[in-house]
Structures are given as structure tokens and as C-alpha cells.
Amino acid sequence: MRHVFVTRRIPRAGMEILESEGVSVEVGQEREDAGVPREKLLKETRRSRVLLSLLTEAVDREVLGENPRLQGVANMAVGFDNVDVAAATELGIPVSNTPGVLTDTTADFTWALLLAVARRVTEGDRYARDGRFRLWGPNLLVGGDVSPGGSGRRKVLGIVGFGRIGSAVARRARGFDMDVRVHTRGGRERLGDAQGVRWAEWEELLEESDFISLHLPLTPETRHLVGEPELRRMKETACLVNTARGPVVDEAALVRALREGWIGGAGLDVYEAEPELAPGLAKLDNVVLAPHIASASRDTRDRMATMAATNALHHLRGEPAPNPVNPEVYETEAWHHRRSLAEG
Ligand code: GLV
């Protein structure tokens, strides 16, 4: 049984890779606006060798435990907080992701949000569309500079997390002549010999940044990393950008911060209880909201799909996948056992 369960429709490029290998593929949900029902996820996992999942499915211990012949989970995302990786490793199931291919696309979108919130692009769009633009005015939709601009002061960009995406965001800041500060939970050695950035302690980054951009995974340690105390420490004009994972920010506290002017604005691509927005968030003008599309360029989504499909084929063949997130699984007895069950 060479069967892969693809939880929701993925770009054609990925499907073609699976089909060209003669693999039987079942897609759990063809609609774009609906997830795969939990019952279906469990049932299809029972009859599949590999699960090609998206970040919208909770691949938890229950799912992973459904099928002793399950050979792997290929998550089509760089983030994998939707998968219980510890349980997968314990059960001998390799999990893979799609790192690297979405770095530039996500960094570009981070900048799109940052610029949009600073320069009030979406407010301007609404204003023009609504027919309210009657006359140019010196006070109309005045925003904050990103580059030194009129004051000549270099703005401070605080980057939290300095992996592939955080570094790509930092590189783009050079074009805006910014002063880039970085804080990572791994400590200042994570900066390596990165050019043009400077380490900042957490409090210093919060207090001195004009813009703060989050680029770290969701883990128990990073949940609500930015809550009321942190938001209150930020400058009144500061803008927060989140293209990482929603729960890294306490969204209810963020709504209060934006409403009461503790900070100047926010650009969000991700939400704490996605796709729900915290009460009041959508009513605020000083926030730019996107529906989790930071990696959504045609080329990048094709690459993510082909990468996930390639990982899935490796899982299916019982070979180490190119992008495992739990490579230690290949050393375990549980993996060898699972592989022999699948071959048998
Ligand atoms: C998107 O959020 C991803 O993790 O790829």
C-alpha cells in the first residue's frame, strides 16, 4: 500500500511529484475555505503510509498513534508546532518540514507589513476607495518614517529570533539605513559574524526599537513572549510586526495596547486563535491585518509543495527524508520496527 494522505489541496507541482512515482494519493479537502474534518483525518491516517499535512491540522498523539505502519509526516510549512514532534519521535515516526524555500518571500512580506503600518497604506487605501479623498492635505494620514527621513534619525529595528527569516529581514533593513538590534533566546552567539546588526538585551530591544519584528518558532517558552508588560515597555510610536506564529503575542493585550496608545501600530499575518481575530482587533485603524500569507508567492508555494512531496516520497520508501525535524528518530528502535512492519 503506497498511499499518501494529503490533508488539503496543495499546489499542482507537489501532486505531480507524487503521481509521477505511481503513489496513490487521497486529498482530504478540496475546498480552500474548509479544513479536513478530524474524523476524516483519523480515518485516512489509519489507511495511509504517509501524511502530507498543512499547518491547519493538529497532528497530535492521537493521530500519530492511529496507524502502526505510518512511515512519516511531511508538513508543508517551515513551522511545525501543529505536529507533536516529541510523540512522533517516541513512536518512531519521522517528521519533515519545508525550510529555506520561503525565507525571502516571508522576509519580503514582513517588510510589506512594516511599511504598510508605518506609512498607513491600508488606511489610505480605505480612504481613497470610500471616496473620502477630496483634497490633498498637509495633515492627511501622516505616518512615521522607516528610513531616516525628515528628522535624519536612523530608526531602530528590533529583530527577535535570528534564524533564516530574521537574518533576511535584517539584510533588507540596510536599504532603509536602519540601526538593527537582535535578540534571540539562544543568546548572542547565535548572531555569529552577522554584519550590520548588534545584540540587544530583551528589555533594551523593547525600549529602544521603533519597529519590532518577530521571527521565532512557537514553543511553550515563546508563547505570550510579548504580553502586557512587554507592550507597555515599548515606545508609544513603536510598531510590532508578527509573521511568526500568533500565540507568541498575547493578542488581547495587543488590542488594548493599540486602542489605548501604548504602542503606535502593528502588522499581523498570524493570530492567536487563527482564523479568529481577538475581539476588537479588526475595528482598529492602526493595525494592518493579513490572512497568514507571508509565504504565499506562486514560486514559493510551488517549491514548498515539491519539497513536502519529496519528503513524503522518502518517508514512503523508508529512507531518511531530506528535511527531517526529528533526525534522531532514525537512530531509534521504534523507527526500525515501524519500517519493518511497513515492508512486511
Ligand atoms: C508558514 O507559516 C510556515 O510555517 O511555513
Give the CATH number for residue 7. Answer: 3.40.50.720
Angle at which helices 298-317 and 103-118 cross, to 10°: 140
Choice from 10, 55, 108 to test ligand 1 binding pocket (greatest atom count within 8 A of CB): 55
One domain, residues 73 and 193: no
Of residues 59, 108, 61, the one with CA closest to residue 81: 59
Nearest-atom number in ligand 1 for the CA of 98 is 5
For 286-339, how does the pLDDT look when each residue is reduced to its tens digit (9 = 90+)? 999 999 999 999 999 999 999 999 999 999 999 999 999 999 999 999 999 999
Q: Which residues pair with 95 in a beta bridge?
A: 73
One domain, residues 169 and 109: yes
One domain, residues 230 and 123: yes
Nearest-atom number in ligand 1 for the CA of 304 is 5
Asked if pLDDT for residue 207 goes beyond 90, the answer is yes
- What does the pLDDT read at residue 273? 97
- Please give the distance, rounded to the nearest whole angstrom, from the Cα atom of residue 95 to the centre of ligand 1: 15
Question: Which residue CA neighbors atom 4 of ligand 1 most closely?
Answer: 79
| Residue pointed to by grid coordinates 515492508 | 343
Question: Which residues have a catalytic role annotated?
Answer: 245, 274, 292
Specify the number of domains making up the chain: 2
One domain, residues 72 and 136: no
One domain, residues 107 and 195: yes
Structural domain including 245 reads: 103-289
One domain, residues 51 and 200: no
Give the pLDDT band (50/70/90) at residue 193.
Answer: confident
One domain, residues 243 and 177: yes
